[in-house]
Amino acid sequence: MRRFLSLALLISLLPGCGTTRTTPLVTGAFGTRPTIVLPSGPPPTRPTIQVIAQGRGPIVQKGQAVITHADIRLWKTGKPYLSTFDLKQPTTVSLDGQHVSHTWTAALAGRRVGSRVVLISPASHGFGPAGMAPSGVSPSETLVIVFDIIGSYAPTANVGAPTTPTTPPNLPKISGFPPFPSNFPKNPPKSLTIHTLHQGSGPPIHPGSTIVVQYVTTPWAAKTPTDASYARGGPNGFLLAENSVPPGWVKGLTGIPTGSRVLLVAPPQPGFTTTTGGVIIPQGKAVTYVIDILAA
């Protein structure tokens, strides 16, 4: 009889035996779309944070720009709402207190790069610093968000290149910070042109890499940029693939060492205005990009 009771007690202590799971079961490797099994019961009444896998990288600090994958599901139905894995593009989350909710900051700040973190949160805490439910989602819904933290950077992170590097006579001068082109020659190059302003010492990047960059986008001969990561909270992450980055980036950046700053001039792209990654491109004009490759 004593033996039977001991066995029963042992079984009741095994994971999943004799208890009802109240948190999502999240499986899958870091950097891949997670598999999420939701409990059948009601969601937590308050935001809940769970670290599924502990990374070994630097600790994310408040005020930084965090490059992360994010997979968002609805608790009630288990259906996906939005996933960066579908877009094949990580997102940048600025922890400056002005862009995301305090629950996102709580989920990301203090975690190590390389961690997988699960946030269970009311939809009213979903997007924006003021607390706003995502489009098409009731504020009473609960969101399950899985973050894979790829990197975290200061908003002004850069490769430490000289502020006034030498450029060939057929290309504009680059100066200042953020680095900006000026003194444009009359006519742009007729073909894709890449010039290394600062040579990094890291591994060369290749198509299919997820790259983390700072960039400034300026139409040829323009006096102001049309887009700059520095003005949008800091570094951005991109999949180096066609239709995920601006025209010319895949060919121009392939083989460039991590830690480099490059000047890339792309010929006009008729009718082309934006990319999946959100970089703003003017129509029908040659475009200059000053790109700092921070990581890959």
- Taking only the tens of pLDDT, the chain with its 296 residues reads 434 334 333 333 444 444 556 789 999 999 999 999 998 888 988 899 999 999 999 999 999 999 999 999 999 888 888 899 998 889 999 998 777 888 999 999 999 999 999 999 988 776 655 555 566 777 788 999 999 999 999 999 999 988 788 899 999 999 999 999 999 999 999 999 999 999 999 999 999 999 999 999 999 999 989 899 998 889 999 999 988 898 899 999 999 999 999 999 999 875 455 554 556 666 778 999 999 999 99
Query: What is the reported pLDDT for 30?
Result: 96
Its domain, for residue 50, covers: 22-153
CATH of the domain at 182: 3.10.50.40
Exposure class string for 245-262: b at 16+ Cβ within 10 A, else e: bbbbbbebbeebbbbbbb
Number of domains in the chain: 2
Rg of the chain on CA atoms, in Å: 23
Q: What is the pLDDT of residue 15?
A: 47
Residue 162 lies inside a defined structural domain of this protein: no
CA–CA separation, 50 vs 115, rounded Å? 11
Hey, what are 6's tokens? 């001991």
Asked if 185 and 112 sit in the same domain, the reply is no
Same domain, 138 and 32: yes
177 and 103 in one domain?
A: no
User: How far apart are the C-alpha atoms of 285 and 246, rounded to whole Å?
Assistant: 13
180-182 and 236-239 beta bridge pairing: unpaired
Q: What is the pLDDT of residue 164?
A: 81
- The answer as to whether 119 is a domain residue is yes
| Token pair belonging to 259 | 């830690």
**Whether residues 69 and 146 fall in one domain:** yes
Give CA torsion, residues 214, 217, 223, 226, to 10 deg: -110
Identify whether residues 196 and 127 lie together within a single domain.
no
CB atoms within 10 A of CB 290: 23
Report the 10 Å Cβ neighbour count for 144. 23
Q: Look at residue 14 and tell me if it is in a domain.
A: no
pLDDT score of 68: 96
- The answer as to whether 197 is a domain residue is yes
| Domain finish residue from 124, 153, 182 | 153
145 and 31 inside one domain:
yes
Is the residue at 261 inside a domain? yes
Task: Out of 118, 153, 188, pick the residue that ends a domain.
Answer: 153
179 and 288 share one domain: yes
**Terminal CA-CA length for the chain:** 62
In the prediction, which pLDDT does 140 show? 81
> Tokens at residue 250, please?
């895949």
Q: Which residue has the tokens 């890959």?
A: 296
Phi-psi region of 50 (alpha: psi -120 to 50; beta: other; left: phi over 0): beta
**Angle in degrees, CA 101, 105, 109, rounded to 5:** 175
Query: What is the pLDDT, as a whole number, of residue 280?
Result: 63
| Cα torsion angle, 89, 95, 100, 104, sign | positive
pLDDT value at residue 45: 84
